[in-house]
Chains A and B, each alone.
Chain A
Amino acid sequence: MTAPSPGLDIHFEGVVHLYPSDEGDVVALRGVDLDVEAGEEFALLGPSGSGKSTVLALLAGLHRPSAGRIRLGEYDLGRLSNRQLLRLRAAEVSLVLQDPARNLLPYATAAQNVEFSQRGARARGHRPPWGAVELLEQLGMGQLAHRTVATLSGGEQQRVAIATGVAPAPRLLLVDEPTSQLDTQNRDQVIALLRDINQRLGATVVSVTHDPAVGAAMPRTVTIRDGRIGAEGRRGQEFAVVGKDGSVQLPPDVLDLMPPGTLVRVRRHATGVDLSNSELETDDL
């Protein structure tokens, strides 16, 4: 497998997204700023309802941001027409939905599913560098190529689903909850597959997961809480992220020390600032 084209870099600038509802709009993202380099592999972490899937949907062009700007490489997503978004999804951005069954035609074989995924790109003149069986073989799923999807195990289906995402050789691969419902062995296989794709394809790979194992396996993680970027992890270390407005989301595990409404004392020193609960300081005193 060779890299057909470099990955897309991602830039979120103050992205806000609202879901309209009968009871009033629901805020999914509250000014997200995020930069991802081309060819990077990272995971979006966060609890259910935090907004991570919304980020994925915005990246895939399924939604348009209510406010802010999203740029994918040379594309400003907010300015693209539906037709251009279709074209983008045909060859450059590929989304693998949560639940493999939603990505696959159960009555077709794995190879046919891969071919189906390539039809959009082919129709627009993008010739994927591999055939369906060839891709499956390269991804270590050659033995599944001619099996009907309905007969595959859950792990196999998930891997085939990711293969369909890779099929058009996208520059950005978006994967939603790739390891949910999988056992450890299958989870590891999927993580390895994603890493393999990133390294060999050169595509930017964004995985949305609440599986810590996936996060731990990724070189970079971004945690979203309540629609904001709460933390970022690199090489296993977790960092709070200072927003453009100077705000910092504290990690949940320190909230017992500084619950919401706490008066925080900020002390500056050479490498940064220290935060402490002013009430606790008083008590100590």
Chain B
Amino acid sequence: MALLVVGTVGVLAAAAGPLYLATANDSVLHSVLLANPPSAVGLTVTPRATAGQVGDAQAALEAASRYRLGRWYAPQKVVMDAGMSVNGASGQGFGGDLVSDPGACSHLHFLQGSCPTGPGQVAITQRSATALGAKIGSRLSTSIPGPIIYQNGLPTQGHLTKVVTVTGIVAVSNPSLPFWFGADYFGFGQSCPSVAPRCLPQLDSFFTPPGTVAAVPGTLGVAELHLKVDALHLSVLPLFNSVVGGYENYLNTQLQDSVSTRLPQLADQAHSESQLMQSIVLVVDLQLVLLALFVLFGLVARTAEARQKEVALARLRGFRLSSVLSVGLLEPLAMLVLAVPLGLALAYVLMALVQPLLLPGGLLTFQPLALGGSLAAFAGGLLAVGFGARRIISRRLADELRATEPKISPATRAALDGAGLALAVAGILELVATGVLNGGQPNPVAAFAPGLVAVAVAIAGMRGLPLLARLVVRRTRNTGQLGLGLAVRQVVRRPASLRQIAVLAVATALACFAVAGWAAAGVNRVVRANFTLGAARVLTVQVPVGVSLEQAVDRADPSGRYAMAVMLSKIPSQNLLAVQVSRLEKVGYWPPGVSTVPLRQLVNWLRPHLRPELVVRGSEVRVTVTMEGSPNPPPDLQLELVDGQGNPGVADFGFVLGGTHTYTTALPPACLLGCHALQLNPIWTPTQTFVPLQGEMNTGPQSVSYQLTVSQLEQGSGGAWGQVTSQLGDPSYWSGSGPGISVSGTTVGGQPALHLDVKDQVSDTSSPSVYPGALPAVLPGVVTRANAVQDPAAASVEDFDGTSLTLNVKYQVAALPELGQEGFLVDLSAAVRAQKAPPTLTQSQVWLAADTPGRVVAELRGQGQRLLSSRVPGTAIAEMNRGGLALAYLFFLFAAAAAAVLAIGASVFSVFMTSRRRAFELAVLRAIGLSDRTLLGSRLGEQLLVLGPGVLLGVVAGLVGVVLALPSVPEFSTTAGGPPVQLVVAPVPIVLMVGALVLLLAVAAWLAAATTLRLSSWSRLRTEIT
């Protein structure tokens, strides 16, 4: 029965790998697909035709039906969208879209009215209704694109007026539902791009039946095919690719439609993840199969040995050879044969139970490889049966009758052990020599290392243990420790159970490695997810026009402990992350190892120590300037300004004349509320005049030198003038930002003045600025203490407004939150101060600490910040946990558990087999007066002397394996974009695992010892003697 159980577990373990792999592959595919928006995984068919798009989109859907895409894509619909403008009750104009999206009504929450069913009916959101002053039954006059008209011979978009009736007022619960296919129908309040010729405040889209917009010439129609992720499995992927490829080809060639989908790239991503997982799982499963094979071999051999008496009798009674073999081997063979279907069935049942929990989206199907794996394990048993048959055939009957145990000669044993040790060591050396274990490249083969180390250590342990026991034997002589003495003497005799050391050591090493790796991987996933996100919670916000995000966060969280304003721009090679550095320590997540210096030091460096802004407030500004030198042409002096809403402006004082003069100019109207000055630019442009008669350019001087002294800067409003706090005498406030210009302080009439010495000015601008010339920045890169402080580098990056920003990179870090290994981290205040225009293509975020009170977010909302999304690391962790590498580790854990079960099973089996054999010896010892306690102690001691070192050696081998192999396991070596991997061996999971293993083995040993004592009764002695 024990053989059946262990055989079944062995087959189960061997079959589980391929089953897991196939199921996990599907799971990886699904997790990759589900991690992306529906519009990325689905098909969006956009007709190329400028007219008749709706018809083409319908044709695309009809073609999809012919290709039977309904198997994988549902729903399939044609969505129509017509841009419109509409006037509210107050006459205010708004922009928006008239959208026909079949099925939309079932995803809208109707606050009033009902779903529009007829042409000209619409459902609008509550906030749009409020903005428009509309209610149910209101008739709204919309202007929508009409046919192209020709004005002065040029084609121009015409417009139609369409009156629509509001039949429903709705709210949308979740605009990111897959149904909406990523469309931004709910952009209420969004400002339109400044480049838009006619910028109107945006309303949410109006939902209307197709009849309203289908016939409108300017309506855009697209066919949306939503992917049914659950219906897509790896097994059908080839068919899927073929069918969808044919469909896309048809659309491209026959309908000239364009198809957009990221499915092929995502499938590739899933495939590469699966490949890595597959490599790891196969390496792990191979080790498990080998272990199962070894265990089965041992069990079958022991079972066959237990049949020695029957075999001897059969031979004595002249049984045919086939009958003798059947007497000796039929039972283990039958158990083995039974174990194959049982193990396979259990593997399927186990996977069916595990799949919904751990492998969502996976499809459990028959896998020939699973059968192969179980047959491989079965082969181990068959091999043992073969050896048993050979022994039965070759062994002399007289020896058989004497019931002597077949002994391997010491030389043979040494040769076998030596060969095993040499193979294991050679395997490890090969892994080291080929660079598999150097941690530089991810290599799943590294997962072989713990098994190889365990084999080497186990063989050494098996050889060494009897030698150690021999030393202990001497110490137990002439002492009262009879139980221990008996136990170590048995170990010295090299009992057959000594081979359990190997099984236990390998199983424990695998379990130790798996648990350590799994724990470390789990910690790293959490660290990575937190770091990648940046904080415990990240809100993406829409900042109202004219509102400073920094100030909003300062007001919402005056303590600086919970919230941090962040701006992010992602432009290839110029990614910029600007944070409120003073809050970074409290709010941001910065794990150890990201930087070689403490975060506090980085923060101190990044903080730009900005001087107060130079604010000009009024309708006019005037400046008193003395120029020495006579540049030709003279420089044009301009004060570069930014108003409160970030809009740029210029106060142009005109050409500067020699001598001292006061120049007055108007300020932009917004400066009545205050503008901050960025730069005082003496702009000089070389003269270039084309002389037609000569056919060449008449050029003047190409560079000039002069000196300017700015002695007064005043602002005026309503005829009253006042000084601008300009710190003209402080050259550190006015730092020169261009080549050839030096700034110094001076005095004019006892008043501080700014002196600019311009030498060989060649470009058109060379200006002193009131913000630091180069912003302190941190750049991801190789973290070394050496270059962290000695190799400052300057870089240039695009600021949020698109202008160039000079950076001073002093520290390098391993990676940056949100940006990974590409980008720069700067202080938000400095970056904003350097802006010369409103930010574009910028994402505004608020990072929140884990214990942020709800009032902070409420306060942000109260200040008009619109929360677009909220992200927590848990989402990323869940995604990573469903990734191929995490699933591979999960399998490793499963394999380790299976190996432990195998080892425990084999040990229990061996212990009980030994117990039966030892019963007679114990009966004799009992008969001569040894106490039960001594005998129990001797048996228990013997088991623990064998099993304990097995576990101990396994732990040692496992930890060595962790050190050797973990850095090369793909999950750890792939660190791109994340913080450095922390290969910290978590002691608690290992201790728990080893503790559980030891406890189970101790219980088995105690039970075996007690059973042996029970078997070693007087009757046993009588039976053996008589």
Nearest-Cβ distance from residue B93 to partner chain A, whole angstroms: 100
Contact B323 A86 (CB under 8 A): no
* Complexed CA–CA distance, A97 and B316 (Å): 10
Contact A181 B320 (CB under 8 A): no
Asked whether any CB of chain B lies closer than 8 Å to the CB of A205, the reply is no
Which residue on A lies nearest to B318, using beta carbons?
A90
In the complex, which of the residues A99, A100, A102 has the most CB atoms of chain B within 10 Å of its own CB atom?
A: A102
Contact A116 B1026 (CB under 8 A): no
* Complexed CA–CA distance, A101 and B401 (Å): 11
Stretch at the interface among B491-499, B861-869, B1017-1025: B1017-1025
* Complexed CA–CA distance, A168 and B318 (Å): 10
* Complexed CA–CA distance, A106 and B317 (Å): 17
Nearest-Cβ distance from residue B997 to partner chain A, whole angstroms: 34
User: What sequence of 0s and 1s flags, for each residue 87-117 of chain A, a beta carbon within 8 Å of any chain B beta carbon?
Assistant: 1111100110101111101100000000011
Stretch at the interface among B306-314, B369-377, B639-647: B306-314
Contact B318 A86 (CB under 8 A): yes
Asked whether any CB of chain A lies closer than 8 Å to the CB of B319, the reply is yes
* Complexed CA–CA distance, A60 and B318 (Å): 11
* Complexed CA–CA distance, A153 and B1026 (Å): 8
Asked whether any CB of chain A lies closer than 8 Å to the CB of B397, the reply is yes
Nearest-Cβ distance from residue A54 to partner chain B, whole angstroms: 10
Nearest-Cβ distance from residue B1012 to partner chain A, whole angstroms: 17
Contact A119 B323 (CB under 8 A): yes
Among residues 113 to 143 in chain A, which have CB atoms less than 8 Å away from a CB atom of chain B? 116-117, 119-121, 123-124
* Complexed CA–CA distance, A202 and B1026 (Å): 29
Chain B residues within an 8 Å CB radius of A105: 309-310, 313
Contact B1023 A120 (CB under 8 A): no
Asked whether any CB of chain A lies closer than 8 Å to the CB of B403, the reply is yes
* Complexed CA–CA distance, A253 and B1024 (Å): 35
Contact for A106 among B397, B401, B1023, CB less than 8 A: B1023
Contact A89 B403 (CB under 8 A): no
Contact B1024 A123 (CB under 8 A): no
Contact B313 A121 (CB under 8 A): no
Contact for A181 among B312, B315, B1025, CB less than 8 A: B1025
Contact A102 B403 (CB under 8 A): yes
Asked whether any CB of chain B lies closer than 8 Å to the CB of A3, the reply is no
* Complexed CA–CA distance, A103 and B1026 (Å): 12
Asked whether any CB of chain A lies closer than 8 Å to the CB of B398, the reply is yes
Contact for B315 among A86, A106, A157, CB less than 8 A: A86
Chain B residues within an 8 Å CB radius of A150: 1023
Contact B316 A95 (CB under 8 A): yes
Contact for B320 among A63, A86, A88, A95, CB less than 8 A: A86
Contact B318 A91 (CB under 8 A): yes
* Complexed CA–CA distance, A103 and B318 (Å): 14
Asked whether any CB of chain B lies closer than 8 Å to the CB of A62, the reply is yes
Count how many chain B residues have C-beta atoms less than 8 Å from C-beta atoms of the other chain.
Answer: 23
Nearest-Cβ distance from residue A5 to partner chain B, whole angstroms: 16
Contact B398 A124 (CB under 8 A): no
Chain A residues within an 8 Å CB radius of B1025: 99, 181
Nearest-Cβ distance from residue A178 to partner chain B, whole angstroms: 12
Contact B317 A154 (CB under 8 A): no
Nearest-Cβ distance from residue B125 to partner chain A, whole angstroms: 84
Contact B1026 A119 (CB under 8 A): no
Contact A154 B398 (CB under 8 A): no
* Complexed CA–CA distance, A123 and B1024 (Å): 31
Chain A residues within an 8 Å CB radius of B403: 102
Count how many chain A residues have C-beta atoms less than 8 Å from C-beta atoms of the other chain.
Answer: 34
Contact B319 A100 (CB under 8 A): no
Contact B1022 A154 (CB under 8 A): yes
Chain A residues within an 8 Å CB radius of B398: 57, 62-63
Nearest-Cβ distance from residue A48 to partner chain B, whole angstroms: 16
Contact for A120 among B310, B318, B396, B1026, CB less than 8 A: B318
Nearest-Cβ distance from residue B916 to partner chain A, whole angstroms: 12
* Complexed CA–CA distance, A97 and B309 (Å): 12
* Complexed CA–CA distance, A102 and B310 (Å): 9
Chain B residues within an 8 Å CB radius of A121: 317-318
Chain A residues within an 8 Å CB radius of B1026: 99-101, 153-154, 157-158, 181
Chain A residues within an 8 Å CB radius of B319: 86, 90, 119-120, 123
* Complexed CA–CA distance, A91 and B309 (Å): 20
Question: Secondary structure at chain B's binding surface: helix, strand, loop or mixed?
Answer: helix
Contact B1022 A120 (CB under 8 A): no
* Complexed CA–CA distance, A124 and B1022 (Å): 36
User: What sequence of 0s and 1s flags, for each residue 373-405 of chain B, a beta carbon within 8 Å of any chain A beta carbon?
Assistant: 000000000000000000000001110010100
Nearest-Cβ distance from residue B739 to partner chain A, whole angstroms: 98
Chain A residues within an 8 Å CB radius of B314: 116, 119-120
* Complexed CA–CA distance, A243 and B945 (Å): 59
Contact B317 A101 (CB under 8 A): no
* Complexed CA–CA distance, A62 and B1024 (Å): 23
In the complex, which of the residues A89, A91, A99, A106 has the most CB atoms of chain B within 10 Å of its own CB atom?
A: A89
Which residue on A lies nearest to B320, using beta carbons?
A123
Nearest-Cβ distance from residue B1026 to partner chain A, whole angstroms: 3
Which residue on B lies nearest to A97, using beta carbons?
B401
Nearest-Cβ distance from residue B301 to partner chain A, whole angstroms: 21
Contact for A62 among B313, B320, B397, CB less than 8 A: B397
Chain B residues within an 8 Å CB radius of A94: 317
Among residues 161 to 210 in chain A, which have CB atoms less than 8 Å away from a CB atom of chain B? 168, 181
Which residue on A lies nearest to B402, using beta carbons?
A102
Chain B residues within an 8 Å CB radius of A119: 314, 317, 319, 323
Contact A124 B320 (CB under 8 A): yes
Contact for A117 among B312, B317, B323, B401, CB less than 8 A: B317
Contact A90 B317 (CB under 8 A): yes
* Complexed CA–CA distance, A100 and B396 (Å): 21
Which residue on A lies nearest to B393, using beta carbons?
A82
Which residue on B lies nearest to A19, using beta carbons?
B398
Contact A116 B313 (CB under 8 A): yes
* Complexed CA–CA distance, A74 and B1022 (Å): 42
Chain B residues within an 8 Å CB radius of A89: 316-318
* Complexed CA–CA distance, A202 and B416 (Å): 54
Nearest-Cβ distance from residue B323 to partner chain A, whole angstroms: 6
* Complexed CA–CA distance, A121 and B1022 (Å): 32
Which residue on A lies nearest to B1025, using beta carbons?
A181
User: What sequence of 0s and 1s flags, for each residue 160-180 of chain B, a beta carbon within 8 Å of any chain A beta carbon?
Assistant: 000000000000000000000
Which residue on B lies nearest to A54, using beta carbons?
B398
Nearest-Cβ distance from residue A278 to partner chain B, whole angstroms: 45
Given A105-B310, A116-B313, A123-B323, CB of A87 within 8 Å of CB of B318: yes
Chain B residues within an 8 Å CB radius of A100: 1026
* Complexed CA–CA distance, A258 and B320 (Å): 53
In the complex, which of the residues B319, B1024, B1026 has the most CB atoms of chain A within 10 Å of its own CB atom?
A: B1026
Which residue on B lies nearest to A156, using beta carbons?
B1026
* Complexed CA–CA distance, A121 and B323 (Å): 12
* Complexed CA–CA distance, A202 and B664 (Å): 148
Chain B residues within an 8 Å CB radius of A117: 313, 317
Nearest-Cβ distance from residue A103 to partner chain B, whole angstroms: 7
* Complexed CA–CA distance, A173 and B403 (Å): 22
* Complexed CA–CA distance, A90 and B315 (Å): 9
Contact A120 B401 (CB under 8 A): no
Nearest-Cβ distance from residue B396 to partner chain A, whole angstroms: 8
Chain A residues within an 8 Å CB radius of B320: 86, 120, 123-124
Chain A residues within an 8 Å CB radius of B396: 62
Chain A residues within an 8 Å CB radius of B1024: 101
Chain B residues within an 8 Å CB radius of A87: 318
Q: Name 16 A/B residue pairs within 8 A (Cβ), A-sorted.
A: A62-B396, A86-B318, A86-B319, A86-B320, A86-B321, A90-B318, A91-B318, A95-B316, A97-B316, A97-B401, A102-B312, A105-B313, A116-B314, A117-B313, A120-B317, A154-B1026
Residues of B at the A interface (CB closer than 8 Å) are 309-310, 312-321, 323, 396-398, 401, 403, 1022-1026
Beyond A60-B316, A154-B1022, A158-B1026, list 17 extra A-B contacts (CB 8 Å). Answer: A62-B401, A86-B321, A88-B318, A89-B316, A89-B317, A90-B317, A97-B316, A97-B401, A99-B1025, A102-B312, A116-B313, A116-B317, A117-B317, A119-B314, A119-B323, A154-B1026, A181-B1026
Please provide the 3 A-B residue pairs with the shortest distance between their CB atoms, ordered closest to farther: A90-B318, A154-B1026, A89-B318
